[in-house]
Amino acid sequence: MHELMKRIEKLEYHHRLMVEMCPENGFPFNRLIIRNGLSEKEVKEFFQTCDRLSMKLEKQKAEGFVYNTPLFKEFEDELHAKLKVHEVVEGCLVQNIYPALMKQFQKSL
């Protein structure tokens, strides 16, 4: 068991080094996920939230709703506690993840 823990610690260390090797402007959202140690399940939940909020945004646009502050607040409230909303919005924009939604959220930063 001790040997297994040593190997896991070594892998985690190498993992952190590899993340530092990636260019800052390459995949900022992915870097946030790795840096904050989010699980695949937590990332899937993030994408499900964004899917739902994107549909809400489209519906609100169709209805002529122009203020997205409540939608932004909902996003902020549902965002994983380890993530900072401004970093997520900027990272998603760079990686072209939910661009329409993130452009709206950027206005609320």
The domain segmentation of the chain, as residue ranges, is: 2-107
Predicted local confidence at residue 16, as pLDDT:
81
pLDDT at 104: 94
Instruction: Look at 48 and 35; give whichever has higher pLDDT.
Output: 48
Q: Identify the band that residue 25 occupies on the pLDDT scale cut at 50, 70 and 90.
A: low
3-state secondary structure 27-40: CHHHHHHHHCCCCH
pTM above 0.75, yes or no: yes
Q: How would CATH label the architecture of 2-107?
A: Orthogonal Bundle (1.10)
> What is the mean pLDDT of the segment spanning 43-69?
92
How many Å apart are CA 30 and CA 91, to the nearest integer?
A: 8
Element (H, E) at 102: helix 99-107
